[in-house]
Amino acid sequence: MSTTIASRRWKGLALIAAAQFMVIMDTSIIGVALPKMQADLGFSQEDLSWVFNVYVVAFGGLLLLGGRLSDLFGARRIFTTGWLVLLAGSVVAAVASTPAVELAGRAVQGAGAALIAPSALTLLMMTFGANPKELTKALALYGAAAPAGGTAGVFLGGVITEYLSWPWVFYLNVPIAVLVLLATPALLPAGGARSGSIDLLGALTVTGGLGTAVYAVVRAPEVGWASTSTWVALALAAVLLVGFFVIQLSRREPLVRLGIFRTPNLGAANLAQLLLGGAWIPMWFFLNLYLQQVLGYSAFPSGAALLPMTALIMLGMVALAPKAIAAFGPKAMVVAGMLLLAAGLGWLSFVRPDGSFWVDVLPASLVAALGMSLAFIPSLGTAISSARPEEGGLASGIVNVSYQVGSALGLAAMTAIAAGAGAGQLGDARALTDGFSAAFVGAAVIALVGALAAAATLRTPAPEPVAEPVHG
C-alpha cells in the first residue's frame, strides 16, 4: 500500500473519531451551562434535565434508523447528512429565546448525531476491516474519542459560559461541522447503497415510546405518581414499546432482528451498558448542579472542577482497562467497575451544604470515574464482539441505544427523586443538597444492581479447544 493511501486512511480515521468526539461532547458541554440557560430561558428546575434528555432521546431512539439508512443509502452520504442536521440543530439551540425552541434545537442535534454515529462506525469498518491488527488500533483510537469528547465538553462548557455566553456552546459546532463536510469527500470511502425497505413505523414507535416514558417519569413529582396523566403516559409508552417489538417480529426487514439477542453475552452486555448509563449520567448532571447551586462555583471553575474526573476516565479507558481486561477478563472488570462506581456514588451522597470541592467532590468523583472507566470498555467490547461479524454494525447500534436509553431513563428517575427530596427549592442550600444526595443514592443503587446483574448474566468464554494432531 502506498504511503499516500495509508496517510489518507488514517486522516479519515481522524475525521471518524472527530464524529464520535462531537457526539459525546454535545452531551457533556451543556452541563456547566445549564444554570445560565435556566436563568435566561426560564426553565423550571424539574424541566432543566430535558435540555440533556431531549438530545439523548432523539439520539438513542433514532440510532437504529440511522444505521439502517447508512446501509441503504451509503455510509458517507448519511454521515454527511448527519453533520448538516447537527449543524442546523446547533444554530437553532444557540439562537433560542424560549425553552420550547431550545428543546427543539437539541432534538434536531440528537437526530443528527443518530445519523452520524452508526455511519461513522460503518466507515471505520470499511476502511480498516480487512486488516485485523489495524482495525484493533483504529477501534482503540475511536473509543478514546468518547472520553476525550466528554472531557473537552466539560472544560469548554465552563470556559465558554464564563467568558463568552452559553449560546457559544452550540455555535462551536458550526465551524467543526463545516470543516468535516469539506474534508469528507476526499478522505472517506463512499460506501455502497443497496435496495431494501425502511422501517419508519418501527423507528417512530421506539422513539415515541422512549420519549413518553421519560416525560412521564420527569413530570411525576410535579403532577403526582398516582395522577391520571402519569399513568396514561406510562401506559402509552408501554403500548408504543410493545408495538415496536411486534413490528420487528412481523417485518421481513426490521430495524432490529430480534434473534440477535439470543447471542450469548450480547443481552447481558447491553444490560450492563444500560445500567452504566443510568448510574453515570445522573451523577454527572447533579454534580454540576451541586458545584454551582450549592458551593457557588461559576461556570469556568465548575467545568475545571470536573476535569480530574473526566481525565481519569480517559486515562483509564485508554491505558488501564485493556490491560486489566487481558489480566482478569471482561466479566470481572465489568463487575469490579460497577462496584467501584456504586462506592463512589455512595460516597458522593454525603455531600454537605457547606462542603468543599476537596473533601466532598474530588475523592468520591475519582473513585466513581475509575469504576466507570473499568466497566465501560469491557461491556462495550463484549456487546459488539458477541455478534456475528456481518451483524457488527447492528450490535454497535444496539449497544449505543442501550447506553442512551439508560442515560435518559436514569436521569429522569433521579430527577424525580431529587425533586421529591428538595432539589426544586432554589436558594435553599440544605434542601438542594438533600435532593442531590438522594439522587446520588439512587444512582448508586442502579450501579450496584448493574454489578449484580453482570455477575449473574455475563459468561466467561470457554477457552478455544486445541486441535489434536492427526497422525497418518
pLDDT tens figures, 108-130: 998 998 888 888 877 877 777 66
The alpha carbon dihedral of 402, 405, 409, 411 has a sign of positive
Encode pLDDT of 362-398 as tens digits.
999 999 999 988 898 788 778 877 776 556 556 767 8
CATH superfamily of 262-458: MFS general substrate transporter like domains (1.20.1250.20)
Q: Where are the domains of the chain?
A: 1-185, 200-254, 262-458
User: Residue 96 CA to chain centroid, in angstroms?
Assistant: 24
CA 144 – CA 426 distance, rounded (Å): 37
Q: Residue 317 to residues 18, 134, 146, 333, 406: CA-CA distances in angstroms?
A: 17, 19, 10, 12, 20
Structure confidence at residue 337 as a pLDDT band (50, 70, 90): very high
From CA 417, how far away is CA 422, in angstroms rounded? 9
Residue 463 pLDDT grade (very low, low, confident, very high; cuts 50, 70, 90) = very low
Please check the confidence at residue 464 and state whether its pLDDT lies above 70: no
CA dist 284 and 310 (Å) reads: 10
Q: Across residues 238-265, what is the average pLDDT?
A: 85
pLDDT in tens, 73-83: 888 888 999 99
Determine the pLDDT at residue 469: 44
Cell numbers 470457554 correspond to: 462
In angstroms, rounded to a whole number, what is the distance separating the alpha carbons of residues 45 and 43? 6
Give the class (CATH, top level) of 1-185: mainly alpha
- Tell me which residue has cell 456547566: 32
Alpha helices in 129-263 (DSSP H): 132-163, 168-171, 173-187, 200-223, 228-250
CA distances from 244 to 270, 335, 369 (A): 18, 31, 35
- State residue 197's pLDDT score: 67
Q: How would you label 296-307 residue by residue, b for 16+ Cβ within 10 Å and e otherwise?
A: ebebbbbbbbbe
For residues 468 and 5, what is the distance between their CA atoms, to the nearest angstrom? 43
User: What's the pTM?
Assistant: 0.80
Pairwise CA distance, residues 218 & 54, whole Å: 12
Confidence of residue 342 (pLDDT cuts 50, 70, 90): very high
